[in-house]
Structures are given as C-alpha cells and as structure tokens.
Amino acid sequence: MVMQLLLQAVTWLFPDFGFMWLVEEAKKNLPLELDFMNEGRNAEKMSEMLKDFTFLKVPKIHWDLSTKRILMMEFVEGGQVNDRQYMVQNGIDVNEVSRNLGKMYSEMIFVHGFVHCDPHPGNVLVRKCPKTKKPEIILLDHGLYQVLSDKFRLHYSRLWLSLISADMKGVEKYSRLLGAGDLYPLFACMLTARSWTAVNSGIDQTPVTQKEDVEIRTNAAQYLPQISTLLNKVPRQMLLLFKTNDLLRGIETTLQTRANASSFINMSRCCIRAVARHEKNNSQTRFKKMQIYFSEVFALWQINLYELLLWIKGSKLADWIVRILSQICWEQ
C-alpha cells in the first residue's frame, strides 16, 4: 500500500514516468517470497534440475523442522561471490567461478525456463569443495523464481543468438516479438548493457571501455521516459530477467571478468540447444529431426573449435609456437 501511494504521487508529479508495474510485481511476488515452503520446494527443484553441474551446491532442506514461516536448511560456509580477495586468498580461480556462474544461469534461462531471480552477492557464495578441492558455487534464497513460457524462452534465445552474431535483422525481429516495438535498439542496449555501436559491431568482439560505460550512464538518464515506456510494454517475465542480468553483470564487473568470451560461448551453447529442442519437438518427420540434430551438433562443434582456438591464443603454447615460427623465418 505504501509503494502504491508513493508511486501514484510520482506518476501525478511526473506523468512521463509510469512505474505502477512495480506495485503489480510486488503484489504478485511478495507472498511467494514470504512462503518458506515454496522456497524449500524451489531449492529442491533447482538442485535436481542442475544436478549434473558438480560445481553447484544447493543446501539441503530439513523438512521435519520447516513450516510456512520457518525454513531450516543445511549450513554451508563460503565467501561472497564478489569478494575477489577471498578467492585469491583461498586459491579459488576467479575466472572459473565467473564462467560457471554464467553457465548455470544460461542453463536456467534458455534451457529450462526456471530462473533464480535474486543473485545478489549475499545469495551466491563460493568455496573450495571439501571433497574435490575445486571451486563450488553455493546458491541461497530460493524464494523468488521466474517461470518462462516456451514461446518467450524461444524468442529470447533467438534474440541472444542474434545479438552475439550481430545479426541486426534478427535483433529487430525478436525484440519486436518480445514487445519492444520501435524501441528495439534501446531494448537491445538495456539487455546487454552495451552501446548501440557495440551491439552493431558484435558484443563478443567489442571490448567494454570506460568511455562506453560513461556513454551508457549518460544516455540512461537522457532516455528515462523511453525506458519507462519500454518496461511497461515488455512481458512481465522480462522484468525479473532485467534485474537478474544486472546483478550478474555487477558480479562480473567486480570480478573483472565482464563480457569475456567464455560467457558468450556458454550462452550460445544453451541458446542453440534450446532452439534445436523446440524444433525437434515440433518436427513431424524423422528425417527433419535428424536434420535438426546434425545442424545442432555442427553448430556446437563450431563453438567448441572457437573455444579451443581462444584457449590456444591465450595459453603459453601460442607464445611458444609464435617464437618457433619467428625463429624459422629469421633463419630463412
């Protein structure tokens, strides 16, 4: 009621800023977040859904000691995911943590459509697994999840594939299908937190610069009415994804791993799998299913090859090969 009263006053004072959707979302989400039985069920669903990710730890729920108002969980220690110093002191690979976090959320969003929507640093801990000694991500606070419809998830997957490949026709098409209308350039910039120039050039090919960050902050203030209009137009499912994207981007910025190639590689894999699964489920003939399967395998093979080339480029092996070739050329 307080939120509604304040937002009505803001709307009356500033008619261009329509944020009444905040009240609608709060009315829908607060009861879910305050129901700890719902949180416990979400935690177990997430644990089962991503059971193949050995780096993920979801604390066990003690149902015999839990009620709608009390949730009893296994106690797990760890440092906050944005605490780079903690990771360095404990011998935890910062890049591996960032890579696994991106992999985990890509799987939630694009493949399963069941998304943990509050990944702030207090809810995401890291530690060295006591058994394997490898980095482990501990995911807490499972009260708020977003369930994505298959149609929305498919359009969103295809939009990200278009953004990563700088396919501007695809960016426009799928942004419009997601409700952005003529504001699709702003929508693409909000999703990626990149400038329109970077989106056109390819967000995986254009490094983030301080100049671009300043430009984005300046434009955010300038385009606030359009941002407000856009948030009112897009499906409600998109609102929590915006929040999730921003929180994950904040963690990457703190860890100094923002917009690295591995995050786009993992995202591409999940998008390709999501689109291929949808097409296979909707194909009528075995031949068509096989065609989609081999197309998926080939696309994933290309990504694996690209990842291998990036690894070679960034490894000592690349320096060694360059030195040998330089020596041979010099001798000739």
Active site positions, annotated: 118
Q: What's the order of all strands across the beta sheet hosting 135-139?
A: 56-57, 135-139, 124-128, 79-80
| Six token digits for residue 25 | 């979302």
What are the residues facing 126 on neighbouring strands? 79, 137
C-alpha pair distances (Å), 214 with each of 139, 221, 259:
32, 11, 17
Q: Residues 17, 11: contact at Cβ < 8 Å? A: yes
Write the burial class of residue 205 (CB in 10 Å: 0-12 exposed, 13-18 middle, 19+ buried): exposed
- Please tell me the chain's helix, strand, coil percentages from 3-state DSSP, rounded to the nearest 5: 65, 5, 25
How far is residue 105's CA from residue 93's CA, in Å, rounded to a whole number? 19
Look up residue 301 and give its two tokens.
């093979």
* Maximum CA extent, the chain: 81
- Judge whether 121 and 282 are in contact, CB under 8 Å: no
Residue entry with tokens 């967000």: 203
Q: Would you state the torsion angle of the CA atoms of residues 144, 238, 46, 83, taken in this order, to the nearest 10 degrees? A: -80
